[in-house]
Amino acid sequence: MSMPEHILGHTFIRRELLDTALTHSSWANENGAEQHNERLEFLGDAVLELCVSHELFRRFPTAREGSLTKMRSRLVSAPSLAGQARKIGLDTLLKLGKGEEGQGGRKRDTVLSDALEAVLAAVYADGGFAAAQAAVRELFADMWPEAEAAEKIASKDCKTRLQEIVQQRFGQTPVYVRRNSHGPEHARIFEVVLRLPDGKEIVAEGSSCKKAEQNAAQRALEDLRAQKG
């Protein structure tokens, strides 16, 4: 069990918490043990979401709620967590029952992601939020989005959110039409018209058609928020 402690940057005072986090219910059932990691997994799900949310909030002070949510979803998805669990060797340390082992449980994303959540809950229970936050920051060290990627997610989210709002309000979708382009070939500027079902048109520019569409969607969202206010 020394490997997770080393990688997570936390030395357990109550090592029994780590042992429980690495004990699958199948092993507990087969060996008559009272403790397994399901309760810690429940806590770890909330701990992980808070720690990741806190770190994204700190890293991207201008990002909107929608883009932060998308970034968090990618980080805390089962495949993402299972990959991190394998990276730190949890797949080799997890205590599994013979039946679960025989069914390939040690390779299953859900089993590994649950185990990782349980380990993070154990860190939180043993060392508090600061310890859990440090562990999450280290765990995802090579996965935190770069600023440019965050901007793309934010822009993409503008179009998604606008489409959802327009469909709900009008029962139709926005229409984007390329109208013009200007400037030298190496620095072309594209102009797009966004047409809403109520007849309103919004013109926006960008270094590509996609960016122009994203800028138009952002302006439309700002207009809609202003109307609502």
DSSP string, 163-201: HHHHHHHHSS--EEEEEEEES-GGG-EEEEEEE-TTS-E
Q: Which of 27-31, 96-100, 103-107, 186-190 comes out lowest in average pLDDT? A: 186-190
Q: Which of 25-29, 157-161, 171-175, 205-209 comes out lowest in average pLDDT? A: 157-161
Residue 117 known to be catalytic: yes
The DSSP-derived string for 64-88 is: -HHHHHHHHHHHTSHHHHHHHHHHT
138 and 153 both lie in a single domain:
no
Q: Which of 117, 126, 157, 213 is catalytic?
A: 117
30 and 131 both lie in a single domain:
yes
Count of domains forming the chain = 2
Q: Which of 46-55, 87-96, 154-163 comes out lowest in average pLDDT? A: 154-163
Mean pLDDT for 109-118 is 93
Domain final residue pick, 145, 171, 192? 145
Tokens coding 225: 């928020």
Give the pairing of strands 201-206 and 175-182. Answer: unpaired
| Backbone φ/ψ region at 135: left (φ over 0), alpha (ψ -120 to 50), beta | alpha
29 and 132 both lie in a single domain:
yes
Mean pLDDT for 122-143 is 93
Residue 146 known to be catalytic: no
Q: Which of 6-10, 15-19, 51-55, 69-73 comes out lowest in average pLDDT? A: 6-10
Output the pLDDT for position 150: 56
Q: Which of 45, 101, 109, 191 is catalytic?
A: 45
User: In the chain, what percentage of residues exceed pLDDT 90?
Assistant: 45
Domain final residue pick, 145, 180, 202? 145
Q: Does residue 149 register a pLDDT over 60?
A: no
| Backbone φ/ψ region at 144: left (φ over 0), alpha (ψ -120 to 50), beta | beta
- CATH code for the domain of 13: 1.10.1520.10
14 and 126 both lie in a single domain:
yes
Total Cβ atoms within 10 A of residue 49: 15
Q: Report yes or no: 40 and 150 within 8 Å, Cβ to Cβ.
A: no
Mean pLDDT for 167-188 is 87
Q: Does residue 208 register a pLDDT over 90?
A: no
Total Cβ atoms within 10 A of residue 165: 16
Q: Does residue 1 register a pLDDT over 50?
A: no
What is the Cα–Cα distance from 111 to 6, expressed in whole angstroms? Answer: 22
216 and 194 both lie in a single domain:
yes
Q: What is the reported pTM?
A: 0.65
Total Cβ atoms within 10 A of residue 218: 20
Amino acid at 184: P
Domain assignment of residue 168, given as a range: 148-228
- CATH code for the domain of 207: 3.30.160.20
Domain final residue pick, 145, 174, 209? 145
User: In the chain, what percentage of residues exceed pLDDT 70?
Assistant: 91
Output the pLDDT for position 143: 86
Q: Which helix (H) or strand (E) holds 179?
A: strand 175-182
